[in-house]
Structure 1
């Protein structure tokens, strides 16, 4: 059996072309397309991510605006900054960088976002629509998983998908998106009993548990499709949640690095133009 390596680069490139076309059409009609990124404090990881996003926006012709609040900013001040961006017609999308300092209520910040400008599905209205099956809007990483499965023409209807992890940013939303594609979905987490046995039943495994090499060969059914969301920094470099030997049993898998992460950043740009 030949194993398909589902590289993220071709998927990202395909979406970039679609995004560029939307941006150009908007600009020709006189509309601005702008991503506003809000940071509170000086979290190094947030600034690294912001730099990466700004590089992509520039390459796609998308405008950008950086709003920086001090480490001492209150929830009220942060929400006020969000509302100001909500009211700005030139701002197409808003991304508050999480996590925020402990004195800032992240849930209140998410709820303050205009749903149509909410880039990472932080507003409960967007999460609720996804839960009710009324919309497919989700955070960029779950959408990246689905984009890769679609690009590589992985059959989903009627398949048994096992999701490892139940976070609000990956596990839960990707489970809901898989349900919308008529998968039978099992969500496993730290309290799941007989977890290896459940994973062995999966036609599709989505690993988003945050533990390097957690999925071992004995947990993978021959011919399964593996989507590895894990990004774990080790002494040997960045590795996924799936052990390399486990991917040898798969019919298709996403590599780490070079897989889902590559597409996630582009999905953020796709969010910026979704209402253009």
Structure 2
């Protein structure tokens, strides 16, 4: 799982997907809470196998945008397409949509009364109807791949924060979702534990997982994301390939944002 992705890693899969329609397409997404406009006409496409990092100050709309994609937050206007299916149609089966999307939040949200393995396999067994033995085999393989096999039968409180977040990510990918949403997955961690979680995300990116992640980890966004998107006040200010976004931002607001974060 170690190693920084360099240009060319995974390019074959990404190039193959390039001419096709986006896996995820957002058009004119608007969301308000009372009088506060939180998302103001967001347009965004995400290709299969692409990693898109959402950056911006707290309150810029990153988490709300992720929650709208997974139908955890209703939109007031706009269209969300996943694999060509209109998720914004009020008749859509929200549970069926969520079965296609893996989500990891800031806090691990592991079920404390279930073992780590049962947490990882729960969706596979109950939603996707995978037989228990097959789900357990797949779950153990995934836990082993992230160094958590020895905790398979333990309850989550036996794990450190970083281990719990890695287990939460494994749970999100166990059913092989079309899209993985990561919402500030390191923000609740002790700084000493951040690296192990980011290393797992880096590994998933190298394998070609389609990821949209909200993050404050600027160096990680620069090194791992294919594209970086800046949100400010619920608006999409700028989006560009990661190297270009950090080296030559076009918008004054982007330059101000980067200057503040990189200075910190």
TM-score greater than 0.5 by the shorter chain: no
More strand by share: 2
Higher Cα radius of gyration = 1
TM score, norm. by length of structure 2:
0.32
Q: Which has the higher contact order (CA 8 A, sep 6+)?
A: 2
